[in-house]
Homo-oligomer: A and B are copies of this chain.
């Protein structure tokens, strides 16, 4: 099970109580931070998300509304005594920016940052429960999207059946992996007899900032949940294109072509107070659309 919480859904300038982009994706064990606009550390406190559980941070690109909150978060983690390693997946230049800011403050963080520069498309992290890969989007500067794919889930043990067959708990791990059980007398209990199929692994694709680009479709094909930006409503498609952003119907079209299950939209321009038209315009193209509203938690699977 993955759970996505939206910390910020606005583009460029904070407006109407909306903040620049940041999201957290949670598994049972880990919290992954995806982009980190200014004020993200405050949003984490507001939504009671434990920053100590964040061990991987993914920054899509170096426009400020996607990372200006990072240095504050990293510094606060240090002040709060973090000791665990932190993995930062981001465009190469971010390492230099952070180093310069730490030097300027004469600060040595009490934890280690492993910096992983984004460069090629493909796998970038292999964690306990998820694989993470990066892919390029089409934006004014180098920009990456991220796909989080759950690893295969364990099969579910039927508590009545294992009791009936008197299978010791020590063998449960093996059963969950799909192995049969052999009794002391050599009788084989087929796995399917005492377990049920695993929940299929779920996937989440975060498309960051991008112009309408059908090359994305293959990269995010059939994910369960897709986040695609909708900076503008459909009437401003020329402005969207000029600024390497997307409109409502463009996001809907990408979701439709990619055959995803659900589409979340965000990165709303500060010119819009109401978001109602974003939902109606996008839903007209792709029905299962939701607004990525701040504070909302979307369960994936």
- Chain A contacts to B: CB under 8 angstroms: 12-15, 19, 38-39, 41-42, 45, 62-64, 68-69, 71-72, 75-76, 79-80, 91, 93-94, 96-97, 100-101, 103-107, 140-141
Q: Give Cα A75 to B80, complex, Å.
A: 29
Contact indicator B101/A96 (Cβ below 8 Å): no
Beyond A13-B79, A79-B12, whether A69 also contacts B105 by CB under 8 A is no
Partner of A38, one of B69, B91, B94, B105: B69
Contact indicator B106/A140 (Cβ below 8 Å): yes
Contact indicator A71/B68 (Cβ below 8 Å): yes
Count of this chain's copies in the oligomeric assembly: 2
Beyond A38-B38, A39-B42, A105-B63, whether A76 also contacts B141 by CB under 8 A is no
What are 28 inter-chain pairs, A to B, with CB distance below 8 A? A12-B75, A12-B76, A12-B79, A13-B80, A14-B41, A14-B45, A19-B42, A38-B38, A38-B42, A38-B72, A39-B42, A62-B101, A62-B104, A62-B105, A63-B105, A64-B71, A64-B72, A64-B75, A64-B101, A64-B105, A68-B71, A91-B104, A93-B100, A93-B103, A96-B100, A97-B100, A97-B101, A97-B104
